[in-house]
Amino acid sequence: MDDENEENSYYSRQSRLSLYIPTHVAIVGCGGVGSWVALFFGLIGVPRISLIDKDVVDMHNLNRTPFTDMHVGQPKVEAVMELIYERRMEDPRLVIKAYESWWEDLDESVINDLECSGTTVVDCRDSTGLLSPLICDDVVTGGYNGTSMTMQYGRSYGSQSVHGDDVVRYSITPSFVIPPVFIATMIVSRIVCGGVRERAQRNANIDVRDFYGMLTLYDDFRQHVAVNYGIDLRTTGGINLDWLLNHNYGERLEKELAAERRRIRNEVLDQVRAEVRNEIEADVREELAASRAENIVPMPVFEAEYYGEES
């Protein structure tokens, strides 16, 4: 796959990034999140893409999706397929299959193919019930509500929820373009840059309004690790749970935080002591000044007499 991508001019700029390019990705739900997920996978060179959705493009979808006015009224799976093929017309390996169906009504043969082929499944439906017991461990889910976003992978259905979960097939939530693009970026980055898929369940929640604050927090954390552990996370592929456990980071961080709390407490105590001492000294000075003022005896005033001869 990597050799083929390196020879293909579409992907020459990404060939040295050691990306994990799945051989087959299925996107269930091609709306706000799913349309971007599918387009991103097409752009990075996934050779086989399956699109599953029965909905059609509506005008209200255009504020947050890559669809155009020309796609209104068209099945979403066909519109997404067109968007990808428009950008990869010269890629002979690319095969896209569009299934205009709800997952629950999907032909059993298609589901069996997804179960047996090691397919990466991305669940972007508005309401997310169980897909299939055989593929649910590999499923990545994503959703949003207003500015809040959720991404889960290795999801155990029913134990946790994602934004947009509902008992109905389609739910209406406040939305604009940034959350679906961002959550799609998170999903694709997790799969492509994270190497092999993990079986352990993970859950990530973020509000788009906190994004820059989180970047600053991560940068501070990265510098902390570099200074205290001599590890540059930029060259180690970032941090994960195994890294934290292997480096006893939780225990060490707890000790460092305790030491930092003691340092801050001592600084505060020193500051309070200094302020109290200053207040006491000021009071003492005022009392001494008042006491001196009370004990001062006025000096007598004498009129001077002149005893010399008058001129």
pTM of the predicted protein model: 0.66
* Residue (of 51, 52, 83) closest to 66 by Cα position: 83
CATH topology of domain 2-209: Rossmann fold (3.40.50)
Lowest mean pLDDT among 71-85, 195-209, 297-311: 297-311
Q: What is the pLDDT of residue 248?
A: 58
- The CA distance from 150 to 141, in Å, is 8
Q: Which residue has the higher pLDDT, 227 or 273?
A: 273
Confidence at residue 166, expressed as pLDDT on a 0 to 100 scale: 39
Q: Where exactly are the structural domains of the chain?
A: 2-209
pLDDT digits (tens, 9 = 90+) for 100-149: 999 888 888 888 888 776 788 888 887 656 676 555 545 567 677 888 88
For the purposes of burial, counting CB atoms within 10 Å of the CB of 37, is it exposed (0-12), middle (13-18) or buried (19 or more)?
A: buried
Strand partners, 28: 52, 123
Q: What is the pLDDT of residues 261-272, one digit of tens each?
A: 888 888 888 888
Cβ-defined contacts of 204-211 (< 8 Å, 24+): 204/150, 204/151, 204/152, 205/148, 205/149, 205/150, 206/148, 206/149, 207/147, 207/148, 207/149, 208/147, 208/148, 208/149, 208/178, 208/179, 208/182, 209/147, 211/182
Amino acid at the residue 119? T
Question: Quick one: tokens of 73?
Answer: 């009224």
Q: What is the pLDDT of residues 10-50, one digit of tens each?
A: 888 898 888 989 999 999 999 999 999 999 999 999 999 99
Tokens (6 digits) for 13: 């700029």
